[in-house]
């Protein structure tokens, strides 16, 4: 019985959604389903009453859940304790961030800090699960999107503020506008952002929420995990991409970026442990506070 599968089971109990758990655990829904079936085969019982719409707990999942959660928590605590014991170099610290957040100036920020503090040993981790690394104390800081800031056990600050924009091909009638409304986008073909596991990206969800509020049904012709792919579709005249403005690659030619009105904001957060574990981590925290306050 693998602890990683127990962690998936715990998440599934808490969300009652294969789609949401797959997104949290960075898995495809088919892989998640196989893992749960394997767990049920090992236990020789069914843990869920499944329907087409949701996942319903049964008496076995109710009984098994607290034990599975305790095992998962003990593993995290054990890893964290061993990490503290083996952490002999108190002048180093780690930063984790999701690959999709690289567009928000993180590389330049980290490079500037390293130039100003060359004596500090900084480890950078690009991961699809920066929050998991922070929770298991495998990193000291995590740059995350707003969907990951629900955990109140960490300190947090807003690193960047962003907002939705439409990406048009040059020559489009709306390409020279400062902003566009949803009504002006009627009849357009849309290219939307998806997550690595195929679930709805948060900026796409905000756009769809805006559409719902206006009773507007967008004509979506493509989804892509990669913003560069989305923007290349636009430059080739395939449609209009909806992305957070700071998320849009600057190197793609023949496009025009126009803000969506009303403004739909998003936030990138810096989360960190309540107890800063080294002097170098404290210096990075002070550096970030100065940068954000400018």
- Give the CATH number of the domain where residue 77 resides: 1.10.10.10
3-class secondary structure, 178: coil
Q: Are residues 187 and 167 in the same domain?
A: yes
* CATH code of the domain containing 174: 3.40.190.290
For position 23, what pLDDT does the model report?
79
For position 87, what pLDDT does the model report?
54
* Region of 191 on the Ramachandran plot (φ > 0 left; ψ -120 to 50 alpha; else beta): beta
* CATH code of the domain containing 124: 3.40.190.10
For position 157, what pLDDT does the model report?
93
For position 284, what pLDDT does the model report?
94
The answer for residues whose C-beta is within 8 angstroms of residue 258's C-beta and 6 or more apart is 165, 166, 167, 168, 174, 175, 177, 178, 179, 180
Q: Are residues 165 and 254 in the same domain?
A: yes
Locate 156 and state its tokens.
């947090």
219-224 and 179-180 beta bridge pairing: unpaired
- Residue 19 domain boundaries: 1-82
- Domain endpoint, select from 82, 115, 141: 82
Q: Which residues of the chain have pLDDT under 50?
A: 88
State the total domains in the chain: 3
For position 233, what pLDDT does the model report?
93
For position 85, what pLDDT does the model report?
55
Of 294, 190, 199, nearest to 242 by C-alpha is 190
Q: Are residues 69 and 133 in the same domain?
A: no
Q: Are residues 101 and 236 in the same domain?
A: no
Q: Are residues 184 and 129 in the same domain?
A: no
- Asked whether the beta carbons of 178 and 258 are under 8 A apart, the reply is yes
Q: Are residues 255 and 214 in the same domain?
A: yes
Q: Are residues 175 and 255 in the same domain?
A: yes
Q: Are residues 183 and 133 in the same domain?
A: no
- Domain endpoint, select from 32, 48, 82: 82
Q: Are residues 95 and 16 in the same domain?
A: no
- Domain endpoint, select from 55, 82, 109: 82
Alpha-carbon distance of 27 to 4, in angstroms, equals: 12
Kindly report, residue by residue over 44-55, the tens digit of the pLDDT. Answer: 998 888 765 567
Q: Are residues 258 and 164 in the same domain?
A: yes
Q: Are residues 191 and 213 in the same domain?
A: yes
Locate 122 and state its tokens.
């900084």
Q: Are residues 187 and 258 in the same domain?
A: yes
pTM here is 0.64
For position 48, what pLDDT does the model report?
85
């Amino acid at each position: 019985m693998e602890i990683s599968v127990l962690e998936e089971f715990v998440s599934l109990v808490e969300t009652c959604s294969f789609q949401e758990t797959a997104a949290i655990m960075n898995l495809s829904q088919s892989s998640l389903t196989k893992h749960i079936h394997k767990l049920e085969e090992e236990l020789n019982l069914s843990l869920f009453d499944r329907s087409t719409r949701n996942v319903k707990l049964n008496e076995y999942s109710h009984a098994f859940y607290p034990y599975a959660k305790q095992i998962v928590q003990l593993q995290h605590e054990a890893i964290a304790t061993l990490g503290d014991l083996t952490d002999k170099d108190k002048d180093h610290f780690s930063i984790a961030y999701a690959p999709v957040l690289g567009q928000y100036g993180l590389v330049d920020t980290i490079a500037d800090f390293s130039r100003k503090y060359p004596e500090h040993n900084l480890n950078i981790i690009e991961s699809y699960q920066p929050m998991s690394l922070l929770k298991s104390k495998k990193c000291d800081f995590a740059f995350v999107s707003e969907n990951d800031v629900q955990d109140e056990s960490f300190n947090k600050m807003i690193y960047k503020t962003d907002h939705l924009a439409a990406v048009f091909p040059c020559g489009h009638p709306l390409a020279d506008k400062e902003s566009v409304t949803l009504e002006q986008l009627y009849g357009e073909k849309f290219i939307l952002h998806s997550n690595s596991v195929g679930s709805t990206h948060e900026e796409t969800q905000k756009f769809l929420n805006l559409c719902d509020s206006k009773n507007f049904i967008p004509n979506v012709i493509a989804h892509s995990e990669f913003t560069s792919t989305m923007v290349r579709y636009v430059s080739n005249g395939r449609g209009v991409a909806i992305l957070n403005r700071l998320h849009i690659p600057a190197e793609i030619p023949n496009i025009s970026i126009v803000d969506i009105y009303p403004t739909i904001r998003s936030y990138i957060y810096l989360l960190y442990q309540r107890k800063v574990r080294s002097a170098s981590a404290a210096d990075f925290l002070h550096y970030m506070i100065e940068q954000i306050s400018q």
